[in-house]
Amino acid sequence: MPICMRCREDKITSQFSQNNKQCKSCKAEMSRIWRRQNPEKAAAANRRAYLKNQTQRRQRQREINESRREENRRYARDYRARNIDLLRAKDRARSNRWRDIPGHVRRAYHVKHFYGLSSSEYHALIDQQNNRCAICNKEQEGGLRVDHDHASKRARLLLCDPCNVGLGKFRDNIALMSEAIDYLSRNYHELPLVGSAIDLLSKAQVNQIRRLYGMTASEYAAWYIAQDGACAICKEKPRGVLCVDHSHESKIVRGLLCRTCNLGLGNFKDDVGLIATAIRYLEKHQ
């Protein structure tokens, strides 16, 4: 049997690494000692090894997580059930500590963490835009929001809340926003109402659309059938009922929209010019 050059013990071949005169336990002990004595070099070595096999390591970790998913979930549920009071106390303490931090410090942390902008870069954007929204060119009390590309995670410019939410509701989709402009430009007096009454709405919803829009259940059903149950802008069929969209000036019902598109129009104030400006903004920062 081979003898380890460090501990001088006779050990079987399987306890040695290939072409190594030290046994595996002695080699591991030497490695631990070196890492304790050279933490910076050890961290650099770990980083090099990770980058060299990054794809394989991530794939392996995904496979491990997938195989242990149910086990991990069960353990997490059991742990939370056993320690619910302790975890709630920790949550409250963490929330209290966060609330005690000044608002401008919290905002700077949020901007840096989610968008990668330092406080100086954020304030440089404010000065560059003269503290006005990049789309509607209006000031907003409480500060502007950082708009970013959801695909690349890259920060674009600063927007007011309505314009930022409006872009989000239209999913930064230029084609969808162009369809919204066409929708707003139609002559709604000439749209046909076809079909017969069907049971689409609850009693509370029937009362609500009659009170808010002067529309009966039969008229709603006619719009619904004419649109084949799909949103008039994105053409998707939501799980729930479609929202009634109307002109806030003339009070005329324009059609039925999904909640997302309806909120998108509302945040852009039904303004075709504003949506067109938002489209140019997206095209510029693609």
142/129 Cα distance (integer angstroms): 16
Q: Which residues contact 148 (CB under 8 A, 6 or more apart)?
A: 114, 115, 154, 155, 156
> What does the pLDDT look like over 32-48, one tens digit per residue?
999 999 999 999 988 88
Helix, strand, coil fractions of the chain, as percent rounded to 5? 60, 10, 35
pLDDT of 9: 82
Structural domains of the chain in order of their starting residue, each with its CATH number? 13-52 (no CATH), 103-169 (3.40.1800.10), 174-284 (3.40.1800.10)
pLDDT of 187: 56
pTM of the predicted model as reported, rounded to 2 decimal places: 0.62
Angle at 265 between CA 134 and CA 149, to 5 degrees: 45
pLDDT of 190: 47
pLDDT of 199: 60
Handedness of CA 273, 274, 275, 278 (dihedral sign): positive
Segment of 79-83, 187-191, 234-238 carrying the highest mean pLDDT? 79-83
SS3 of residue 244 by DSSP: strand
> What does the pLDDT look like over 173-217, one tens digit per residue?
999 999 999 988 875 554 444 444 346 678 888 888 889 888 888
> What does the pLDDT look like over 89-102, one tens digit per residue?
999 999 999 999 99
44/47 Cα distance (integer angstroms): 5
> What does the pLDDT look like over 136-184, one tens digit per residue?
999 988 889 999 988 888 899 999 999 999 999 999 999 999 999 998 8
pLDDT of 67: 93
167/169 Cα distance (integer angstroms): 6
* Cβ atoms within 10 Å of 6's Cβ, excluding its own: 14
pLDDT of 193: 44
Beta strands 155-159 and 243-246, pairing class:
unpaired
